Every structure is written in structure tokens, then in C-alpha cells.
Amino acid sequence: MIVGQQKPFDEIWEMVKGHKQLTVFGCNTCVAVCHQGGNKEAEILASLLRMRATQEGVTIEIKDGGIERQCEHPFFESAKDLLGESEAVLSMACGIGVQFFAEKYMNTPVYPALNTTFLGDVKSDWHFTEKCQACGDCVLGATGGVCPVSRCCKRLLNGPCGGSTKGKCEISKELDCAWQLVIDRLEALGKMDDYEKLAPVKDWSKDRAGGPRSFKLEGF
């Protein structure tokens, strides 16, 4: 899923404080799972903004609402009325939702309340870790199901580097060395010989480097 983290409150306040009316919209899917951008968090953030407005003597009408998924048209139907009354929108969605808003409502300013941080898993209710960079050319079949592109800080395809120490990465003792995990998996699978297969130079044109990506289903 997409993981996001709320921006510092002061940064959010600076973006929105000039408006007379603002609606904070939660996005109740990915970013709700990580407790950063769901409808509940939208309600809390709206309250905090109202308090800040009072403290600073600024008049802003602040409402809150929710859109189940801010990246698909049908989910906007239920919020139509509230949107119609909104001078500006503070979106609690990931960057995708914010842009979907911007594209859909040409004349309504929209601000991001979150920094979209990574594509990751839910290790526990409170712990989320990056697992994919959407490089467009998955190598997991060759690496025992451990992604070196997202999990090695040098995205080495033929790792580990010389900084791997006791299973940890050279940049942090808190961070697992992805290549240690690859090797552990290859060993568990009885496929250590695969380690010596040279990974070819990667085609990064399928990654961000190739420009914005899209695809269309033929005959759908």
C-alpha cells in the first residue's frame, strides 16, 4: 500500500491560513491504515487548525469530510455538496489523491497534508516499511523475493557491498542489509548457486527515468 506521513503542522498552517474557508478531506484507504490520512485524522487535523486559527485571531471556516479513495471518480459523488461549498481543500490523501483533486476541480486550490513516503507493508499496526519502488521491471524472481531496488540503499543488483555488517546496512544499524536477506532466502531455498548469476544492466527506462508511466487496457 501507499504510506504517507503528515507534514509538520506549521507547514500545513502556512499553506492554508490565507483562506476564508477550507475543507479537510480524509482518504480512507491506504493512508488511513497508517493512521495519517483517514477520515478520523481529517477530523482531528481540522480541529487543530480551528484552534490555531482562534489562537492567531484568523477567521477561517474549517470543515472536514471524507472521500473513501481520492484517486477514483466514483468516490467523489458522496462529497459533491461539501466540495461545492469549499473555497479550498486540504487533502489527506497521498500525492495521487491530491493531483486527482487538482485535475478534477480546476478552480479549487488543493494542498497536501501528507508527504507521500513509500510503497510498503504493514509490519504491525504501528510499523510500516518500504518494499517497492515501482521500477517497472521486477527482479524479485532472481533475488529470493527480496527487493534490492527498494531495500538496498545503493539499489545494488549484484550485492552486498563491502559495508554489510552483521546483517545490517552501512548507513544504519537499524536497517537490514537487503542482500543479507536475499542470501538468507536463497540459502533457505537451496538456491545459493543463483547468487553467482550476474544480474544484467537494468533497463531504467521502465522506471521514473523513462518519464511518467501509464497503461491502457486494450478492448476493455
* Binder among 23, 28, 150, 164 for another protein (CB under 8 A): 164
Q: How many residues bind another protein (CB under 8 A)?
A: 29
Q: How far apart are the first and last CA of the chain?
A: 25
Residue 185 CB, shortest distance to another protein, in Å, is: 12
* Binder among 21, 47, 54, 158 for another protein (CB under 8 A): 158
Residues 81-120 that bind another protein (CB under 8 A): none
CB nearer to another protein: pick between 46 and 152: 152
Residue 211 CB, shortest distance to another protein, in Å, is: 15
Residue 123 CB, shortest distance to another protein, in Å, is: 23
Reference 7, options 163, 15, 186; nearest CA is: 15
CB nearer to another protein: pick between 91 and 180: 180
Residue 170 CB, shortest distance to another protein, in Å, is: 4
Q: Encode 17-36: b = buried (16+ Cβ within 10 Å), e = exposed.
A: eebeebbbbbbbbbbbbbeb
Reference 67, options 58, 75, 57, 56; nearest CA is: 75
Backbone phi, psi, residue 2, to 5°: -90, 130
User: What does the alpha-carbon distance between residue 178 and residue 155 come to, in Å, rounded to a whole number?
Assistant: 9
Q: Does 201 bind another protein (CB under 8 A)?
A: yes
- From residue 95, alpha-carbon distances to 23, 113, 129, 139 in Å are 17, 10, 18, 26
Q: Can you read off the three cell numbers belonging to residue 145?
A: 523475493
* Binder among 17, 50, 131, 154 for another protein (CB under 8 A): 154
Interface positions with another protein (CB under 8 A): 153-167, 170-171, 177, 180, 183, 192, 195-196, 198-202, 204
